Amino acid sequence: MKTLSVRMLLGGAICALTLSMTATAQTNSTTASGQTSVTGCLSGPNDEGAYILKPTKGRAFEVGGNDQLKEHVGHTVRLTGNWVKSGAAIGENESAEKNEKSEGKEHHGVAERHFKVSDIHHISASCSQGGATGGTPQ
Establish if 132 belongs to a structural domain: no
Q: Of 56, 116, 109, 130, which is closest to residue 85 (Cα–Cα)?
A: 116
Q: How far apart are CA 65 and CA 137, in angstroms?
A: 18
Q: Give the CATH number of the domain where residue 103 resides.
A: 2.40.50
Q: Give the pLDDT of residue 2.
A: 56
Secondary structure element (H or E) that encloses residue 43, with its range: strand 36-43
Q: Are strands 36-43 and 76-84 parallel, antiparallel or unpaired?
A: antiparallel
Whether residue 80 is contained in a domain is answered as yes
Q: State how many domains the chain has.
A: 2
Which of the pair, 107 or 117, is modelled with greater confidence? 117
Structural domain that includes position 39: 31-124
- Residue-wise pLDDT tens digits, 42-87: 999 998 999 999 998 889 999 999 999 999 999 999 999 999 988 9
Report strand pairing: 61-64 vs 111-124.
Answer: parallel
Between 10 and 121, the more confident residue is 121
Query: 91: exposed, middle or buried (C-beta count within 10 Å: 0-12, 13-18, 19+)?
Result: buried
**pLDDT at res. 96:** 53
What pLDDT shows up at residue 118? 96
pLDDT tens string 6-39: 555 555 554 444 433 333 334 566 666 789 999 9
CB neighbours of 44 closer than 8 A, spacing ≥ 6?
50, 51, 52, 69, 73, 135, 136, 137
In a domain, 41, yes or no: yes
Please tell me whether residue 65 adopts helix, strand or coil conformation: coil
Question: Whole-model pTM?
Answer: 0.64
Do 17 and 50 reside in the same domain of the chain? no
> Do the domain assignments include residue 131?
no
